[in-house]
Amino acid sequence: MTAPNFTIEELPSAEIPRKGVWYHFRTFCRRYPLGAIGAAITLVFVFCAIFAEFVTGMDPYTTNAATSLAAPGSSHMLGADVMGRDVFSRIVYGARISLMVGVGSTLVGCFFGVFIGLASGYLLGWFDLITQRIIDMMQALPLLVMALVMAASLGPSLENTIIAISIPLIPNVARIIRSNTLSLREMPFVESARASGFSEWRIAIRHVLPNTLAPLIVLATAQLGAAILTEASLSFLGLGIPEPHASWGRMLSESAAEYVRTAPWLVIFPGIAISLVVFGTNLLGDAVRDMLDPRQRKT
Amino acid sequence: MTSYIIRRLLLMALTLVGMSIIIFIMLRLVPGNIADILFDSAGFIDPQEKALLEEELGLHLPLWKQYWDWIYGLVQGDLGFSYVSELPTVDELGPRIPITAKLAGLSLFFAVLIGLPLGVISAVKQNTWADYVVRIISLSGLSLPSFWLGLLILTAFVAWAGYIPIYTSAPETWYDELALLITPAIAVGFRASAIIMRLTRSSMLEVMRQDYVRTARSKGASENVINYKHALRNAILPVTTIIGIEAAFLIGGLIVTETVFNIPGVARFLVEAIQWRDYPIVQNLVMLIALIVVVVNLMVDLLYAVLDPRIRYS
């Protein structure tokens, strides 16, 4: 038997080549084309929201009597409202408000929903019983009615709109997280963590919580569209975002009755913006659900 | 079954009592009541007159006493008086409820009429152009705000017919009323139809993979018999639930649509009452909505046992 004429360093690496971001992106687009379209639409609105100043050179709050109700044209791409404000720049800045409220209320709703659901499913007993009854009560009202009463109670402002929409979202999140926690707490890895002497809270936060993230992401993407629609409805009814913020729902409310005949662009363009962003988040939400919930994939 | 119904009724009562407390507290979270609104809008504040008005409306009483008076009256059928019009709440809500109920019924009818067949077609023709079209329609239904759809319909009417079909005075015949309600019903029902469409499709696809459907096909049954007699009858169960839930939750869409079409229904009235902090109207209306939701939920659960004899409640 002769000694090999190469060293161990010269052997080819046994490591499986890691797939890059570009590979995952292409796979996602190929498997979920509608989800990719949704992601692209959502990204366009996110870009507008972050870089609104660069997307449009016009100020959304500057009034000009000379351009009142100007039709779409070279000076105002999507026309001007009754105060002569540029509709395109108001829509671009409106994306910031809409996404801020949508993402903000979804995050706040998910945060409290996760906390309540986790505690309810983990502690059980009286805490669970009382929490579940309160959730039953909160779910007895439609999202908009609950948000309407909350918004009216808190008063119109950006922060209050986020709170008003996030509170009705809590029960949905808490229910899902609770049911997941109930099944997870009986799993062998939780039992072994308990046997290792970890505290119950440590097990709940470090071991159970990360395993509830997949359904949480699915739910959050589905709730995002609902939150954006609710903000638009609240602002349309005059109980959401106050002036001078450029809110899509408020833009429609200002133009609803008076300008349907004379300036239909005031009705059409803000509505397209709302529908497109919700359409995008819904498509993305469907793809995320299919990706993370294999049971749904076949249907 | 009887014990199940009794248990559910007790749970319903508990939910409604809890809801009444939540609504009562929420409406009083922020300082300021109708007396403040009236005096602020008038531009002057005479503390004596304001105190007199608050006493007249019972707003000076401790919160627990106000709550007790409301619940005590509610149980006895006394819903109190509107702070704004000073009319009995029953008289304010009475004429408005039928208008909203008709609109909700029509919306649901439209939603089922469109949603169910399109959902079946989408499932039967899975991954064909018909399926893609239906899926895009259903996603659009979920994405379009109902008030914007209403505004678009109004814009279209202005452009093509030269008039706006909104409530200006009470319609004289049922035909006139139907003509006025059909467009807002489409605006409200479109979203519900999208939800029904999506659920019918996924439920049908689930059922169509079952062994008994394959057996029926291998026995030579026609596609129509398989789709409608075997698949749809079994797929309808979850769809029934969603139809029930949507019936109860239509109020969300009705609130904005009644505002757009100027319909003097109870949903638009809720927004006006909230803006005026007209507590008796808001509290009783919210309780009515909550009652409808819990009753419909119970009815859907009971309907389950009728539609599927395998389900037995104990």
Query: pTM of the full predicted structure?
Result: 0.83
Name the least confident of A43-52, A182-191, B88-97: A182-191
Q: Which residues contact A268 (CB under 8 A, 6 or more apart)?
A: B152, B155
- To the nearest whole Å, the CA of A186 is away from the closest chain B CA by 27
Would you call B18 and A137 a contact, using CB atoms and an 8 Å cutoff?
Answer: yes
Q: Are the beta carbons of B152 and A282 separated by less than 8 Å?
A: no
On average, the pLDDT of chain A sits at 84
How high is the pLDDT of residue B43?
65
E strand or H helix that includes residue A30? helix A21-31
- Residue in A138, A142, A296 closest to B249 by CB: A142
Given a contact cutoff of 8 angstroms between Cβ atoms, the answer to whether B188 and B198 are in contact is no
Nearest to A155 among B30, B251, B290 (CB): B30
Residue A147 has what pLDDT?
86
Q: State how far residue B104 is from chain A, nearest Cα, in angstroms.
A: 14
Q: What are the sequence ranges of the domains in chain B?
A: 96-263
Query: Which of A222-236, A262-276, B116-130, B163-177 comes out lowest in average pLDDT?
Result: B163-177
Three-state DSSP state, B81: strand
Q: Which of A136, A150, A232 sits opposite B145 (nearest CB)?
A: A232
Which pLDDT belongs to residue A108? Answer: 94
Residues 6+ apart with CB under 8 A from B221: B230
Cross-chain residue pair B255–A233, CB shorter than 8 Å: yes
Contact A141 B289 (CB under 8 A): yes
ipTM of the assembly? 0.82
User: Residue A71: left (phi > 0), alpha (psi -120 to 50), or beta?
Assistant: beta
With beta carbons under 8 A apart, name residues in chain A contacting B23. 149
DSSP A86: B
Which residues touch B96 (CB under 8 Å, ≥6 apart)? Answer: B264, B265, B266, B269
pLDDT of residue B297: 83
Which fold would CATH assign to domain A97-244+275-299?
MetI-like fold (1.10.3720)
| Alpha-carbon torsion (B269, B273, B274, B275), positive or negative | positive
A283 chain-B contacts, CB cut-off 8 A: 139
Nearest CA in chain B to A133: B15
Question: Tokens 């589905």, residue?
Answer: A222
Handedness of CA B89, B94, B100, B101 (dihedral sign): positive
Q: Is the pLDDT of residue A57 over 70?
A: yes
The position carrying tokens 């509608």 is A34
* Consecutive H or E run containing A272: helix A265-292
Count of CB atoms within 10 A of residue B36's CB? 16
Kindly report the backbone phi and psi dihedral angles of residue B212, in degrees, each rounded to the nearest multiple of 5, phi listed first.
-65, -25
Residue type, A222: A
Most confident region among A199-213, A221-235, B39-53, B161-175 by mean pLDDT: A221-235
Superfamily classification of domain B96-263: MetI-like (1.10.3720.10)
Q: Which of B29, B147, B163 to mutate to test the interface with A (most CBs of A within 10 A)?
A: B147
Which of B24, B138, B151, B295 has the most A C-beta neighbours within 10 Å, making it the best mutation to test the interface with A? B151
Chain A partners of B11 at a C-beta cutoff of 8 Å? 136
Chain A residues in contact with B271 by the CB 8 A cut-off are 148, 237, 239
Between B178 and A18, name the one with better pLDDT. Answer: B178
Angle, vertex CA B229, rays to CA B224 and CA B230, nearest 5: 105
Residue B156 has pLDDT above 50, yes or no: yes
B 180-209 residues with CB < 8 A to A: 201-202, 205-206, 209
Residue B239 CA to residue B245 CA, distance in Å, equals: 10
* Residues of A whose CB is below 8 A from B276: none
Alpha-carbon dihedral angle through residues A55, A58, A59, A65, given to the nearest 10 degrees: -150
With a cut of 60, say whether residue B137 has pLDDT above it. Answer: yes
Are A231 and A241 spatial neighbours (Cβ–Cβ below 8 Å)?
yes
Q: Is the separation of the CB atoms in B246 and B195 below 8 Å?
A: yes
Residues 6+ apart with CB under 8 A from A216: A110, A114, A173, A176, A177
CB-based contact, B290 to chain A, within 8 Å? yes
Please give the residue that has the higher pLDDT: either A18 or A68: A68
Structure tokens at B33: 């009541």
Contact yes or no for A152 and B275 at CB 8 A = yes
Q: What is the pLDDT of residues B62-92, one digit of tens each?
A: 888 888 988 988 888 888 888 888 889 889 8
Hey, where are the domains in chain A? Answer: 97-244+275-299
Cβ pair B144, B190 in contact under 8 A: yes
Query: What is the pLDDT confidence band of residue A6, given thresholds at 50, 70 and 90?
Result: low
Interface contact flag, B145 A261, Cβ < 8 Å: no
From chain B residues 249-268, the ones with a CB under 8 A of any chain A CB are 249, 251-252, 255-256, 259-260
Mean pLDDT of chain B: 84
Token pair, residue B255, equals: 């609130």
